[in-house]
Amino acid sequence: MRHRGERPPEASPPASIPDSFAGLRVLDVGAFDGFYSFLAEARGARRVLAIDNEQYVHWVRDRWKVKLEGGEGFDAIHALLGSGIEYQRTDAYALDNMGSASTSSSASASCTESRIHWGYSAFSSAGLPKAAGY
């Protein structure tokens, strides 16, 4: 029990996004408009795969009666930046079912290295602590 005037116990510092992604492969799960994907690319990631199941399309339609195709924001930013990021409309649960035979269209290659999570994005590199379940 803490007494009046006592300082609270020190909390762990919040996780921060690395300044450099040089040589890393990045898997951005739930990418939406790709903020973290584009950030990782700008900071030197050698490969970025962004996935999103685009469920927001149904939410926007039901709430505001606006029909979206999905991925419009990502596509617009991708084009403006001349980005090399790969984007797939898929669910995170489907990652286990993606084969590793085709590294150009598969998230499996990105999932084979250890990773550390920052929000919904997974940044992978050899030497980082292995997250449970990956």
| Spatial distance between the Cα atoms of 57 and 119, rounded to a whole number of angstroms | 21
Two tokens, residue 32: 């939406």
* Domain assignment present for 18: no
Q: Give the model confidence (pLDDT) of 11-55 as tens digits.
A: 666 678 899 999 999 999 999 999 999 999 999 999 999 999 999
pLDDT at 62: 95
Residue 54 φ/ψ, nearest 5 degrees: 55, 35
Number of structural domains found in the chain:
1
Q: Which domain holds residue 67?
A: 25-124
| Spatial distance between the Cα atoms of 21 and 3, rounded to a whole number of angstroms | 44
Q: Give the model confidence (pLDDT) of 69-99 as tens digits.
A: 999 999 999 999 999 999 999 988 888 876 5
Instruction: Say whether pTM exceeds 0.85.
Output: no
